[in-house]
Structure 1
Amino acid sequence: MRYANKLERSEFLLKYVEKYVEKKGKVLEIGCNVGRNLNHLYEHGYKGMTGIEISQEAATCLQEMYPKLADDAVIINSPVEDVIKKFLPDTFNLVFSMAVFEHIHPDSEWIFEEIARITGDYLITVEAEKTSHWHIFARNYKKIFENFGFKQVAESNCKEAGLELYTLRVFKKVRK
């Protein structure tokens, strides 16, 4: 539940989403937890929301804390590895994650190419990239997603969001 109280993180994310994605766009959050970020976007006019969350407890809390969002959004309670291949190419105008990709085990790194495949326009990552810990796998997301057809268009440290060790990156899909 303490995750829901970190509204400054959702505000920080919203500034970038509003700059790049129209409110009528389809949005996917990978690792939506109790839905704080999705709900914040929802309250600011975004309606085409989908969330993937591995934790049953978090998905249940989302329904209790944000019932309007839960009624209007598609919330998939599953590991991302089990559902990512089911989406069509370019399904979402925006795909984003906040402190989730860093927990993807190296055996599941194949999902990054799938994320690139289903992202139609923009991808936003907010991840720890330098810290290695037993449950954090440091990666260079700029290199990863540029290899899958994206160009980085913005980068920011996340200090104002209270995430000192994190980097926000915005990527735009390059059309050939």
Structure 2
Amino acid sequence: PLGQDHLGGCRKSSRESKLLSHQSWSVLVAPSITRPSFAFLLPLLFVFLGGCGDTAPLPGEELLAEMEPGYAKQAILNSLPEGPGVDTGGAERHGYRLDRYFLEGRSVEILWLRGDSQEPLEELTRAQANPVIFVDEVLDGWGWAHFDQRQEGWSMIDRTDPPPPPEAPELEHDDSPDPPSGTDG
């Protein structure tokens, strides 16, 4: 009888320890989340993490990734596909806008690569345009990080042809309520 009580006690304590360890785990991991709601949150986690992936490449990014600073401008222009050729008010080069500056005694050109958009450059977002900077007829760099660094260093912020905005342009709309009918003004 003593051995049976002892074995029964072991089984009981073993069962209790399993129960306690499960309860302790659920309290430590998620004290306010029950199993059904946790199971519901798991697919949402995958959706959220899926949205954190890479963004779409900038126009011409695959081609420019093969180029290094110092490449001749003409060689790069010859390797680019024909651009949309929209009248943008700036010089056109292979269908892309080309802004020219003379800064610190050097010729600086910014070629604005873009996809198939027919919108003026000023109406595009940063995701739709890719600045390629040439200094004295050779590639200086490309992409927004390089452009932002150069723009600040060269004090280009107040120039007449600003780059596309960092975010999508706001649509103009009036959110004010309509005035009550029958009133003046």
Calculate the TM-score normalised by the size of structure 1: 0.26
Larger fraction in strand? 1
